[in-house]
Structures are given as C-alpha cells and as structure tokens.
A and B are shown apart, each in its own frame.
Chain A
Amino acid sequence: MNATRPGTMKLALGPLLYYWPRETVLAFYRDCARWPVDTVYLGETVCSRRRELKLADWIAIGEDLARAGKEVVLSTSELIESDADLRTMHSVAGNGAFRVEANDMAAVRALAGKGTFVAGPFLNVYNAGTLALLAELGATRWVAPVELSRDGIAAVVADGPPGIETEVFAYGRLPLAVSARCFTARYNNLTKDHCEFRCIEHPDGLALDTQDDQHFLVLNGVQTQSASVHSLVAELGEARAAGTDVLRLSPQSQHTGEVVALFSEAASGALAPHEAAARLAPLMPAAACDGYWHGKPGIVSVGASPAPK
C-alpha cells in the first residue's frame, strides 16, 4: 500500500469517556469550539450513573459547537442493561437536533430508516457484510473496532458499500472492555449501586500496574482502557491510504487542544511523522502504543517505521 499525503482527512473529537465535574466539562467544550476539529461526539457513553450533565446539557453544548461550525454527533451508551438505559438511548436517538452514533444494536434498531447515523466503534464491524447491512439501515459513517488492523480496515473499505465514511480511533487510551461490574467501585470496596461516583477522582482513569511495575491498564468505572496511549500520529499517510476519512481523537484531562492542533498539522502534511510523534510525546499521559494498527498486540509500539511491503 502506498503512503499518500494525509491531507484530506477530517478530525473528530470522540465522546468524553471519563467522569469530570460539570464545570470542567463545560469549560472543556467552550475551549473545543476554537480547536481545529471538524466533528465533536457528545454524550455519556460509559456509565448511566454519571449525571453531572443531562441530555439537555449535552444538546446545549452541541448547539454552541454547531454555531462554531462543528459537526455535532450525539453518542449512545456502549452498554444498555436496564429500562432506564433504553429510555436514555431513545431520548438520544430521537433528540431531533443532531445526528447520532449508535453503539449497540438496540440503538441501530431505533435509528434504522429514520435518516442517517454513525455506526459506532462498539458495533463490531469486522467485515463488509456487516457494514453493508448497516449502510442499508442508514449508516453513512462507521467507526472501526479498535482491534481491527490497518489491513483489516483497508479490506473492509475495499469490499464495503460505496460512499460510507470510515473513521479510525487515532489517539487516546483505548477503550478495551466493558462490564456490568464497576471496577472503580470495586477498588474502593463499594458496590456499583452505591459507588459514591468515585470515578470523578480519576480524570484520566485509575492506573492499574502489573506486579512487576508495568503500566498496563486503567480502570474507568465499568470500562477498562489501555494505560498506553494509542497514537497514529506517525502513520497518517498510511491511515489515508487504508481509506480513513476521519481520525478520532479521544479527550484527555490535559493538553487535548494541543493534541488536536498537532494532529491537524500532521494531517495537513505540514509535519513529518517522526517530528509529530516527538512533539506529541510530552502531551500524552503515558507512553504511546500502536500495535493494533500493525496487526500486533495493541500494547506494542511500532512507531513510525515504514509499512511492510
């Protein structure tokens, strides 16, 4: 695959995966209006107990961002368990103002045939057959599962329906797993129903190390993430060549605006891959990884090495 100039890709800010105080969130998105992102995904996707912001608050944030020229998408929860979760999903799906990212098949069902939607990263789109089905139902963009490699993405794009946009998780701690159990509550010897909302104390997740001191994962309530920060900043030419239309950058508590600016420069071709990676490193909460992109364990860092022929 020939690396091409990455110039034509759009940037998207993924949904905020952590639980931050209301004022912090509002300030974050006020700043975001000035960042060079094309699309902003909004909403609580991880835990239904997090209620610093209600749907109406997210819509208000979205309206401000839309006025600033951003495409706004509301994301549904990655795990729907209860009737209350279903009601929330339907409120998001039928919000009337913004396009919706569906993160489970109940949401796809709610959105099917009612305009266009984004097929989120938790829908398990691993092949063109599944993508064709979602496109038939109204999906106009899909977000690849984080563990799908460059070659896997390229193959889905090659065989997939024409015209659908491909979005790739390009920066951030990887959302690897979700559970009914809250691991942050468990760490605090609390049950999920009485969790005291402790994940608000960990704006980038709660670090989990191995017994020989390797930074391995972070606990983010019911979600488990990689400790390392997945970054494709040195691989944007390849990303474009694989068929990527949109790069997803995941919010972190510090330096998100600078990360966005750096990706914007790198995506325009103004920054060499190695230089972009070097300048990104001090803005990251942990070391970089990009193994999934190369078809290797996700934890591995291959870096800016050239693609195999």
Chain B
Amino acid sequence: MDQAVAPPAQAVRRMKLVCPAGTPPALKIAVDNGADDVYLGFKDETNARNFAGLNFDDKSLREGIDYAHRHGSQVLVALNTYPQPSTWRKWQAAVDRAADLGVDAIIVADAGLLAYAAKTHPGLRLHLSVQGSATSHEAINFYHERFGIKRAVLPRVLSVEQAEKAIPRTPVEIEVFGFGSLSIMVEGRCALSSYATGESPNTHGGCSPAKAIRWQQSPRGLESRLGGVLIDRFGEQDHPGYPTLCRGRFVVNGDTYYPFEEPTSLNTLELLPRLQAMGVAAIKIEGRQRSPVYVETVTRVWREALDDCAREPQRFRVKPAWQEALAGISEGHQCTLGAYHRPWK
C-alpha cells in the first residue's frame, strides 16, 4: 500500500459495538454476528448480573477469549460491583484472574478496586463501569487522572446534549447505551432493591433478585411480589413482566400507575449518525441475562446499522426490518429514547 496516501479528510469514526454474553454460546453468537467487544462476568457477585446459570468460569472464559481473538473481537470482563471488607479478597482475586487470563479490559465501578488494578496490573486496560456513576466529564477525568482509565460508560441519565458536551472535554473514550433494559435511576446510586430484598446491584450484583420474587394468583389477579412487597397485579389482558422494583405499579394519592417507568426498552438506533458525529467511541447493548436469540438479533441488527452509519452517515435511515426485529425482543415490546430525549425527564 502506498504510504504517502493520506486518509480521506472526513475519515469515518467507526463506533465499536459492545455486546453482552451471559453464557459461552452467547459469546460465540455475538462474535459471529460482528460484535467488536463482548462483555461478560465471572460466576459470582463480582459483577452486576449475578444470576443463576449465567456467566463464566476460568475454563469457559479462556475458551471464549481464544474464540473472540481468533475472530477479531475483544473480551471485556465486568467487575462492576462494590467489594466490602469481608469480600475484598474475592474481587482482588477476580482482577488478578482477569489479568492472568489475558482479557482485553476490565470494567470496574469501585474506586478502591480501580486503584488496586492500576497499581498491580499497570498493563491492564481499565474501563469505568456505568455503576461508577460518573455523570460529568469532570468525574470521568478524576478516574482518568487517578487510574488511567481508557473508556467510561456514561450513565443512561445523560441526554445527548450533555454527552456531546462531555466528549471533547475528556481524553477518555466514551461508551453509551444503545439498546436494552432502561435504567431509570442513576446506576450505582440506587438502593431500592436492597430496601425490599437486602440485595442491590452495588452490594450483591443484582437488582430485584429472583430468589426474592413470589408470584401468586389472587382474586384480584396475578400478583408479583419482591421481598414480600406487592410490585404489580395483572389482569388477563396484561403481559406480566419481571418484577423489577422500578417497573412496578403503585398508588400515589389514589392513582394507580407506573410512578417510575413503564416497562420499555431503550433504543437509540435513530440517533446513530449524531452519536457517531459527536465522537462516541462505543455503543453498548444491555442484556447479559438475555437469551442467545436476543444476542443474535441485537448484534446482527446493530452491526448492520453501525456499518451503514459509518459508510454513509448523511443517508442513514433506520430500516423497518431492524425495528421489527428489535421490537420482537424488547421488554414490554415498546421502545423509547429514554433520557437521550429531553422530554422523557
């Protein structure tokens, strides 16, 4: 190739596609369908999707890394919960395991753990988890200056305008959520789940844990309870959803409604050209707890959309087939732009 040829002036800034893998088959499917990065967790509370039957042991992670690397994808390990003194060594060991297995980055929320990782494994790439609650470029730069983080995942509370302002003011790559379950509360700042069940994402790596859920038929409908607290009651016309606390129907001054959020999914496909133009480095797909079919569908659709957008951002159109495919796997079968769209707030 002729070294003298400069890249075209408007060289495309290609956004990376970051896909979830709860299991080894999901990892393979994500890689096969074009994920740039696959993120996953160990089989314990060191990550925020600590659910039975999910996640990776050393052997499956080693095989997963090997498979991903052979196909040009990278593997990121989420260690994104907050260790307490009694469990600190487990998290520390998880950082060491990830480094020894040769993962491409770890995704961390706790400042103490970031300090340990930066000191002990200076070559290990660090990403700031969304659970780190960095909601401004100044907070992100704190983590950069202290620990040399290379990428930060923005909380879903920020609007596009806010993200756009943050990006030029930090040397850290910015990753934003593109699709999946919508977090209504600021990640890392929500203890609703532990208030009802004793376990929260920060302390135990899970929100509204399955073991705290009870379904029961009552004369007034099918009831879902979390830690004994009635989250919702469903009639025959309803589609009962997982009783995540903030998706419940409650009563305020006699009105029964969803005080926090309807069960919807975040979908930012239509914003892709703008996210690309403002310099977003990576788009994250939520859903390590979801099935391989989900991973296959979102990865395929978002790969195609990102490629279209990188090729011809001015002519980018959201294809009806994409929306149809995504609607089929969305929670509540509805999509929203969430906080990216200011009136949502």
> What is the interface of chain A, defined by CB distance below 8 A to chain B?
78-83, 85-86, 104-106, 108-110, 122, 124, 126-134, 145-148, 151-152, 155-156, 158-159, 174, 176-183, 186-187, 191-193, 206-214, 216-217, 219, 224, 226, 291-292, 295-299
Contacts and interface: CB of A to CB of B under 8 A. Distances in A.
B250 interface: yes
Contact of A181 (B115, B142, B190, B345): B345
30 contacts: A79-B157, A80-B136, A80-B139, A81-B157, A104-B133, A105-B134, A106-B134, A106-B138, A124-B110, A127-B85, A130-B111, A131-B112, A146-B191, A148-B84, A176-B191, A176-B192, A178-B189, A178-B190, A180-B157, A180-B186, A181-B261, A192-B345, A193-B343, A209-B251, A211-B249, A211-B251, A297-B227, A298-B191, A298-B196, A299-B227
B250 A180 contact: no
A82 B162 CA distance: 6
What's the dominant secondary structure at chain A's contact region? mixed
Interface string B310-345: 000000000000000000000000000001001111
A191 B345 contact: yes
Contact of A132 (B112, B158, B196, B256): B112
A104 B132 CA distance: 10
Interface string B127-158: 00000111110110111011000000000011
B165 interface: yes
Interface string B72-90: 0000000000111110100
Interface of B: 82-86, 88, 109-113, 115-116, 132-136, 138-139, 141-143, 145-146, 157-159, 162, 165, 184-186, 188-192, 194-198, 200, 202-203, 227, 229-233, 246, 249-253, 255-256, 259-261, 339, 342-345
B142 to A, nearest CB: 4
Contacts of B251: 208-211, 213
A85 B136 CA distance: 10
Given A109-B138, A211-B249, A297-B227, 20 more contacts: A80-B138, A104-B139, A122-B133, A126-B82, A126-B203, A133-B115, A156-B85, A174-B195, A178-B190, A180-B345, A181-B157, A181-B339, A183-B260, A187-B255, A206-B252, A209-B250, A209-B252, A212-B230, A219-B259, A298-B194
A146 B194 CA distance: 10
Given A146-B191, A295-B198, A299-B195, A86 B184 contact: no
Contacts of A85: 136
A53 B93 CA distance: 49
Contact of B82 (A104, A127, A181, A224): A127
B202 A147 contact: yes
A156 B86 CA distance: 9
A211 B195 contact: no
Pairs A-B, 8 closest by C-beta atoms? A129-B112, A180-B157, A155-B85, A130-B112, A106-B138, A126-B82, A109-B142, A298-B195
Contacts of A214: 229-230
B186 A179 contact: yes
Contacts, number: 213
Contact of A147 (B110, B191, B253, B344): B191
Nearest to A185: B345
Contacts of A180: 157-159, 186, 339, 345
Nearest to A157: B85
Contacts of B185: 177-179, 224
- Residue from A110, A126, A147, A213 with most neighbouring chain B CB atoms (10 Å): A126
A106 B155 CA distance: 14
A126 B108 CA distance: 14
A147 B157 contact: no
Contacts of A206: 252-253
Nearest to A146: B191
Nearest to B250: A208
B252 A79 contact: no
B116 A129 contact: yes
Contact of A219 (B109, B138, B252): B252
Contacts of B345: 180-182, 191-193
A211 B116 contact: no
Contacts of B88: 127-129
A295 B159 CA distance: 36
